Structure 1
Amino acid sequence: MKKSNYILLIAVGLVVITAVAYMFTAAESPESYVEKIEKERERQFKFIRFNIESPLTEEQKRGFTKLTFYDINPAYKVKARLLPIENKKVREVPLTDGSKQRYIEHSFAEFELGGRTNKLLLLQAMDETDKRNFFLAFADATSAGETYGGGRYLNVRQDGKNSITLDFNLAFNPYCAYNPDYACPIPPKENLLEIALEAGEKNYKE
């Protein structure tokens, strides 16, 4: 199996976990919210450290002790307006190895953060069976500094008729941040943000 396909495998798992864990976040206490984010980060660490499908080599695993994250900040969990694209097209998204992966350009998520209105393109896998699930690849002012230069990912799920929640505390690195042998989707030009999203996973350093 091509290594880029592993991205889709972990994406499916993350979507399911996120959907179940955060369905009722709006009614949660701040303490419960922080606890759930911490549990997800622990799950992510264990996957990278121990799972057979981890992008780390066996040599990397031996010296791997933690993932690095920004402090959990509820301000980076935002409710975005869902702006559907009327004439949906197939986008060939470039991967880091020069190949391409096909996604559907589904909609835009528009939200207020960093003192401005931001808009991100939501992509949908060609074989996605649940049409409420989307893939979001983005880069921001922290990219190539505190966070991975190739951008970060979110797997998001529509949770309202015309809205969707984007929780950047859950932003995670693509596999190629850990191992350049993997091929990862590059964020589309629409998703290069000027603001700094100081939330989620930081850059991996051996």
Structure 2
Amino acid sequence: MSQQKIVLLFIAVVVFGSILYTFVGGGEQTEQYIERIEKERERQFKYLKYNQESPLTEAQKRELDQLDFYPVDPGFLVKARIEPIEIKKMIEVPLTDGSVEKYLRHSFAVFELDGRELRLLLLQAAKEADKRNFFLAFADATSGEETYGGGRFLNLRQDGQRSITIDFNLAYNPYCAYNPDYACPIPPRENILEVPIRAGEKNYTK
């Protein structure tokens, strides 16, 4: 390899590393980012095992030793642009028990993942006071096999005038994945992805 090619390769590596450093957590180093996600997962585990509001039964709590997650992958931390829906309206989102909850059909988050452009519908709870907070329910090609068949959830917050960060490493199971007595929103058809999202929480098994 010529000296010129070696220099160009070195520059490319430095640039990529700089981009990753800047993108992960806004300057957060990769190791720090992974540690932060792991701490959030530990917090989630402790909530399910010990909290009185946990959807788990007492027998489930005693048996729960850990939750099952995909390895943390910074590639699933994406910056999406927000495409507002011109005519926003309240819709009734069906729940797993046949009832409904009202959400505002607010906008689309548009981003690239593995070279494909994806679009996800952002919903806002009818009683949400902070208009920068959004709810995202989605299903993907792993649903029903590696992950819960009813999809997974993300709580998002708008962090730019026309942008929002989506971290699929924080995707979590709805309560009904642990206990069928709970009613959970079903992902809207716009959020049923054909691609696999191998990030976040896997299916819960007793």
Same fold (TM over 0.5): yes
Q: Superposition pairs for residues 123-138 of structure 1, below 5 Å?
A: 123-138=123-138
Shift of 1:86: 1.4
Q: Which amino acid aligns with 1:180?
A: P
Give runs of ≥4 in structure 1 deviating > 2 Å: none
Shift of 1:116: 1.1
Shift of 1:189: 0.2
1:54-110 deviation per Cα after TM superposition (whole angstroms, max 9, x unaligned): 000011111111100000000000000100111101110000000000000010000
> What runs of 5+ residues in structure 1 fail to find an aligned partner?
1-23
Query: Which residue is 2:36 aligned to?
Result: 36
Query: Which residue is 2:191 aligned to?
Result: 191
Query: Which residue is 1:62 aligned to?
Result: 62
Q: Superposition pairs for residues 67-106 of structure 1, below 5 Å?
A: 67-106=67-106
Q: State, as a whole percentage, how many aligned pairs show the same letter.
A: 67
Query: Which residue is 2:116 aligned to?
Result: 116
Question: Matches of 2:129 and 2:198 in 1, distance apart?
Answer: 32
Q: Could you say what the CA RMSD is over the residues aligned between the two structures, in angstroms?
A: 0.8
Query: Which residue is 2:159 aligned to?
Result: 159
Question: Matches of 2:156 and 2:95 in 1, distance apart?
Answer: 20
SS of aligned partner of 2:68: coil
What is the TM-score with the length of structure 2 in the denominator? Answer: 0.88
Shift of 1:172: 0.1
> What runs of 5+ residues in structure 2 fail to find an aligned partner?
1-23
Question: Matches of 1:34 and 1:92 in 2, distance apart?
Answer: 37
1:148 aligns with 2:158: no
Q: Which amino acid aligns with 1:125?
A: A
Question: Matches of 2:199 and 2:57 in 1, distance apart?
Answer: 27
Shift of 1:25: 1.2
Shift of 1:115: 2.6
Q: Given that residues 154 and 171 in structure 1 are in contact (C-alpha distance below 8 angstroms), is that contact kept between their aligned partners in structure 2?
A: yes
Question: Matches of 2:38 and 2:175 in 1, distance apart?
Answer: 21
Q: Count matched residues.
A: 183
Question: Matches of 1:151 and 1:26 in 2, distance apart?
Answer: 28
More displaced stretch, 107-116 vs 96-105: 107-116
SS of aligned partner of 2:110: strand
Q: Which amino acid aligns with 1:132?
A: R
Query: Which residue is 2:6 aligned to?
Result: none
RCO higher in structure (CA 8 A, sep ≥6): 1
1:182-204 deviation per Cα after TM superposition (whole angstroms, max 9, x unaligned): 00000000000011000000000
1:5-49 deviation per Cα after TM superposition (whole angstroms, max 9, x unaligned): xxxxxxxxxxxxxxxxxxx81210001100100000000000000
Q: Given that residues 95 and 186 in structure 1 are in contact (C-alpha distance below 8 angstroms), is that contact kept between their aligned partners in structure 2?
A: yes
Shift of 1:155: 0.3
Query: Which residue is 2:202 aligned to?
Result: 202
Query: Which residue is 1:181 aligned to?
Result: 181
Q: Given that residues 171 and 200 in structure 1 are in contact (C-alpha distance below 8 angstroms), is that contact kept between their aligned partners in structure 2?
A: yes
